[in-house]
Structure 1
Amino acid sequence: MKALHLISFNYPYPPSYGGIIDVYYKIKALSELGVKIHLHCFVNQIPEKTDPEIKNITENVFFYKKKKNPLLYFSPVPFAAAIRNSNMLLHNLMKIKAPVLFEGLQTTSLLTQLKDKGQYPLYLRLHNNEAEYYKGLSSSEKNIFKKIIYKVEAIKYENYQKKHLKEFKSVFCLSEKEFHETENYSGNAKLIHIFHGNRTVKLLDKKGDYFLFHGDLSISDNKKALEEVIELFKGFSQYKLIVASDRASDDIKKKINSVKNIKLVPIETNENLHHLLENAQANILLSFQNSGTKVKLFNSLYNSRFVIINQNITDDDSLRDLCLYGSNLQEIRQHIIDVAERDYSGSEHRKTVLEKEHSDESKAEEIIRVIFKN
């Protein structure tokens, strides 16, 4: 029997944002291939019950409250890792002898103690080059206090990554960039692209009704991207833009409401998101952080029509070739004009590329081969 401890930085349901989407659909794919998952979750509040969607794909689920001590900001350990520390986690890991997969460096505060035990093969899912990620957050953030916090976290993670990346049997990287960085540094990298939950490419009719921008608008990178898109659509009164998000500040709502052809709608459920994707003529995906392929790219390619991106949405050439790429806002603007009235006919080509090279099942099979050596 193949068993695996998986330590998640949050409770992976519902799978509503990038990192947790990867965690949930990874567990699901591994479970469907016969791996018994012992799931450990760090949470703000321990839930009263475990969702059946999680129960059905795990053997056990354990919860640990994240620490709330603000003094941990002064720890040499990155804050996100310092608050995810639990003696009970160590106790529960010791009860069941199985390999351990850490989801992100922020879950690795027990790494040294586990390594000292010597009986647990240790693996890491590297969700980001965290030092680069926090540098990017600092650069995009306008609040000076948050900007400083992110800058300090970036410095901490730079040291933390150098110290610990070599201690894992394998590091599963999301992107080409992080794969090469990790492989050059520690020689234990494996490239496993993001788990996204899509199984088949939708066959859609030729035209959609609007342009779509979707994302978590509490994240500074997404807020900056939206500001650029709003400026573009101020000059496109003839085109309708829908901004889909469950997290929009009053300031963002005010900016959206000031432009007649832009509308903010909530996402709320995956069904609603898929409905928005299916009826869009084109998706506009921009990022100012180079952190691998964004999960919303997969959602757009599997479930919608044209996809317009900039350089930071993916570093995978096979995915970029399925999109309309703009190296600057002028090129993005021209793509918007070009596709506004164009019929879409790319579903079959996408189906060939995505279902062959980017299925969750094939990624889970690769993880099983690495961890269980078969």
Structure 2
Amino acid sequence: MKEIHLISFNYPYPPSYGGIIDVYYKVKALSDLGIKIHLHCFVDRIPEKIDREIKNITENVFFYKKKKNPLLYFSRVPFAAAIRNSENLLKNLTSIKAPILFEGLQTSNSISRLKDKGYKLYLRYHNNETEYYKGLSSSEKNIFKKIIYTIESFKYAAYQKRTLKEFEGVFCLSEKEYNEVDSYSKNAHLIHIFHGNELVKRLNKKGDYFLFHGDLSVSDNKKALEETISLFQNLPQYKLIIASDRAGKDLKKKISSIVNISLVPIETTENLHRLFENAHANILLSYQNSGTKVKLFNALYNSRFVIINENITDDRTLMNLCYWGCTTQEIREQIIATATKDYTENEIRSEVLEKKYSDNSKAVEMVKVIFKD
């Protein structure tokens, strides 16, 4: 039986945000193909028990505590990689001879020691971390965090150069990152994000509101929400629902004073899917060009119209399923255009998404690369 080590930057359950959603549904899809998964997780706290959903799709699970030493900010290795380093990880990896898949550059601190032992090493390239941290710095208002993000961006520029060539293969999320890696190290493969959706939901022609959803502890999402609120303040005839479990007091106060905007908690996947089902259109904005966002797949599979800006995806096929604009004015025009439009895109989405973007098809491609099938 084929087996693989998978090193995750966090425990992938519940799959509640972009990177971890990709990890969890990738493990599930590979397991469904009969691959034995040895899962290694870096965590802040080791869980008291392993969730049944993880047990059912893994051969075994190992945990390693992230280091807490603030002096690691002064390491030449990026901080996120420096804190994910463990001698026990090396012991567990070398006890079972199998290919190793690193989830993100932040898990790859041990690569040089493993390369010497003849292991086949692969990377899931979640972000161009240099650009990601540059984007965080640009969106961040706290001056201390802004400086840290800028320094980390410079560190990753050097780290990526040293590290990317060491892998047998690099699985990229977006065409932009695929082209970057391919031009540099010639080991890139384009494998879109694993998202967990299987069938496009069949919906009637009209929904009840516009929907914005996201983690509001992330500076990029905060900035996107500010623009969305500004748009709907000037479009009082349209109702906007903001769905998030991480809204601060200031935001709650601001929203409470705007008649056509309301804030609701997500709490469960079922609640989020209910919000998708009743939405007429979704507003997805980003200021970081870091590949296709998982929230786009969730909206396309489970809701009606999707309005995006150019940073949500660089995939032309997916862009053609959306309504998009590069400026605030263009986004405004798309809101007005979709508000009175009947949704009739069930068949088109089903044809495109279920064939080309299924988790199974992506897992099959990864298996071909890793095991040279």
TM range (shorter): over 0.9
Cross-structure match for 1:173? 172
Partner AA of 1:207 in structure 2: K
Partner AA of 1:344 in structure 2: Y
Cα deviation 1:118-173 (Å, max 9, x = unaligned): 2x100000000000000000001011000000000000000000000000000000
Give me the whole-angstrom Cα distance separating, in 2, the residues matched to 1:229 and 1:185: 37
How much has 1:205 moved relative to structure 2? 0.9
Is 1:253–2:262 an aligned residue pair? no
Is 1:340–2:339 an aligned residue pair? yes
How much has 1:252 moved relative to structure 2? 2.2
Cα deviation 1:250-269 (Å, max 9, x = unaligned): 22222222212111111111
Cα deviation 1:186-244 (Å, max 9, x = unaligned): 00000000000000000001110110000111111000000000000101212111111
Cα deviation 1:4-43 (Å, max 9, x = unaligned): 0000000000000000000000000000000000000000
Greater Cα offset, 326-335 or 46-55: 326-335
Give me the whole-angstrom Cα distance separating, in 2, the residues matched to 1:291 and 1:107: 18
Is 1:11–2:4 an aligned residue pair? no
CA-atom RMSD, angstroms? Answer: 0.7
- 1:185-264 equivalence runs, <5 A: 185-264=184-263
Greater Cα offset, 230-239 or 192-201: 230-239
Give me the whole-angstrom Cα distance separating, in 1, the residues matched to 2:257 and 2:20: 33
Give me the whole-angstrom Cα distance separating, in 2, the residues matched to 1:160 and 1:373: 28
Cross-structure match for 2:62? 62
Aligned length: 373
Give me the whole-angstrom Cα distance separating, in 2, the residues matched to 1:251 and 1:175: 35
Cross-structure match for 2:42? 42
How much has 1:71 moved relative to structure 2? 0.7
Cross-structure match for 1:123? 122
Partner AA of 1:157 in structure 2: Y
Give me the whole-angstrom Cα distance separating, in 1, the residues matched to 2:48 and 2:251: 34
Greater Cα offset, 36-45 or 235-244: 235-244
Partner AA of 1:84 in structure 2: R
Cross-structure match for 1:77? 77
Cross-structure match for 2:33? 33
1:150 partner SS: helix
Give me the whole-angstrom Cα distance separating, in 2, the residues matched to 1:249 and 1:4: 41
Cross-structure match for 2:328? 329
1:177 partner SS: helix
Give me the whole-angstrom Cα distance separating, in 2, the residues matched to 1:256 and 1:289: 25
Cross-structure match for 1:289? 288
Give me the whole-angstrom Cα distance separating, in 1, the residues matched to 2:244 and 2:314: 25
Give me the whole-angstrom Cα distance separating, in 2, the residues matched to 1:155 and 1:266: 37
Greater Cα offset, 232-241 or 136-145: 232-241
TM-score w.r.t. length of structure 1: 0.99
Cross-structure match for 1:372? 371
Give me the whole-angstrom Cα distance separating, in 2, the residues matched to 1:371 and 1:255: 51
- 1:354-369 equivalence runs, <5 A: 354-369=353-368
1:117 partner SS: coil
Give me the whole-angstrom Cα distance separating, in 2, the residues matched to 1:294 and 1:17: 10
Which runs of structure 1 show a deviation greater than 3 angstroms over 4 or more consecutive aligned residues? none
2:116 partner SS: helix
Cross-structure match for 1:100? 100
Cross-structure match for 2:271? 272
Give me the whole-angstrom Cα distance separating, in 2, the residues matched to 1:247 and 1:103: 26
Give me the whole-angstrom Cα distance separating, in 1, the residues matched to 2:79 and 2:88: 20
Greater Cα offset, 272-281 or 255-264: 255-264
Q: Identity across aligned pairs (percent)?
A: 74
Give me the whole-angstrom Cα distance separating, in 2, the residues matched to 1:90 and 1:270: 36
TM-score w.r.t. length of structure 2: 0.99
Give me the whole-angstrom Cα distance separating, in 1, the residues matched to 2:141 and 2:254: 16
1:193 partner SS: coil
Cross-structure match for 2:22? 22
Give me the whole-angstrom Cα distance separating, in 2, the residues matched to 1:266 and 1:250: 14
Structure 2: segments with no counterpart, 5+ residues: none
Partner AA of 1:219 in structure 2: V
Cα deviation 1:57-104 (Å, max 9, x = unaligned): 000000000011111111110000000011000010011110000000
2:352 partner SS: helix
2:227 partner SS: helix
Give me the whole-angstrom Cα distance separating, in 1, the residues matched to 2:7 and 2:267: 26
Cross-structure match for 1:318? 317
Partner AA of 2:115 in structure 1: K
